Amino acid sequence: MTFISNLISGISLGSVYAIIALGYTMVYGIAKMLNFAHGDVIMVGAYVAFCSMAYLNLPPIVAIVIAMIACTLLGIIIEGLAYRPLRKASSLAVLITAIGVSYFLQNAALLIWGSTPKTFSSVVGFDSISLLDGKLIITAESIVTVIACIIIMIGLTLFTKKTRIGKGMRAVSEDKDAAELMGINVNVTISITFAIGSALAAIAGVLLCSAYPILIPTTGSMPGIKAFTAAVFGGIGSIPGAMLGGILLGIIEIFSKSYISTELSDAIVFAVLILVLLIKPTGLLGKKITEKV
């Protein structure tokens, strides 16, 4: 039974990584940059939801919507102020800027909310499910997280495959100049991508803190790095890749924690990443572009 219950926690944690990884992978796909501040947007989302619930006494669903709106705006502002001026700069300059934005957000949070941990109360309003005479307990948070992850995955896939804006995003991610020549406003498309990624980060933040309720200004950084790993693991730029990478990473992490060693679990996670990249450098679902001339 421990095996199954570990598997469920793994899938649930992995679902959170997957939702965060989607933000990394979409932004990378379109802007060809690693937005290292993405993890901190998660933390901001969690704080906003926390304040809405604890200070304004708003119901959880309203708090989530407010957090999503706040993070969407934050994402658009970060892109417009910090990354857009660097559109033609070297990728190293953009990377350093992203790290700068990350520290800025952490320290701004420290200034606003202080260093004392906040105890996040779960947004999930029903009880855990107990199966097989209580031998197997599935937490309500796990169920909600996995369902949210599946809905987001299906939604995003349909969005990029079926809608005009979604297809435009794919066009921009492949070839900016050609997209521009089709009449697609590349800057607006990049903003939309940041907006979607950041709204997803807010959802991830709320789900993460519902399962692990300690909220501090650095709450987002480790899950951020792990989700980035998940995106690379699955094949950066690929939406199903982010999903698969996230869930596998969650399972590997929980299994190493429970069967090998809690201290070593992060090391094992990253060791698996290195192994995968050695064998398949494009990640699990990353594809090499074949080009005929």
Residues of this chain that interact with other proteins (CB under 8 A) are 164, 167-168, 170-171, 174-175, 177-186, 287, 289-293
Closer residue to other proteins in complex, CB, 55/88: 88
Nearest to 28 by CA among 91, 105, 93: 91
The CB-of-165 to other proteins minimum distance in angstroms stands at 10
Give the relative orientation of helices 38-54 and 91-113 as an angle to the nearest 10 degrees: 20
DSSP assignments along 253-289, one per residue: HHHIIIII-TTTHHHHHHHHHHHHHHH-TT-SS--PP
The CB-of-271 to other proteins minimum distance in angstroms stands at 32
The CB-of-181 to other proteins minimum distance in angstroms stands at 5
Measured in residues, the chain has a length of: 293
Place of tokens 């089709």: 182
Residues 6+ apart with CB under 8 A from 258: 2, 6
Could you tell me where the DSSP H helices lie in 185-264?
186-211, 221-234, 239-255
Q: What is the rounded CA–CA span in Å between residue 49 and residue 44?
A: 9
The CB-of-189 to other proteins minimum distance in angstroms stands at 10
Closer residue to other proteins in complex, CB, 144/239: 239
- Asked if residues 60 and 53 have their Cβ atoms less than 8 Å apart, the reply is yes
Closer residue to other proteins in complex, CB, 138/186: 186
Closer residue to other proteins in complex, CB, 87/135: 87
Closer residue to other proteins in complex, CB, 81/178: 178
The CB-of-224 to other proteins minimum distance in angstroms stands at 28
The CB-of-77 to other proteins minimum distance in angstroms stands at 22
Q: Outline where DSSP puts E strands in the chain.
A: 118-119, 129-131, 136-138, 214-215
Closer residue to other proteins in complex, CB, 7/84: 84
Residues 6+ apart with CB under 8 A from 261: none
Closer residue to other proteins in complex, CB, 84/167: 167
Give the relative orientation of helices 140-162 and 2-31 as an angle to the nearest 10 degrees: 30
The CB-of-176 to other proteins minimum distance in angstroms stands at 10
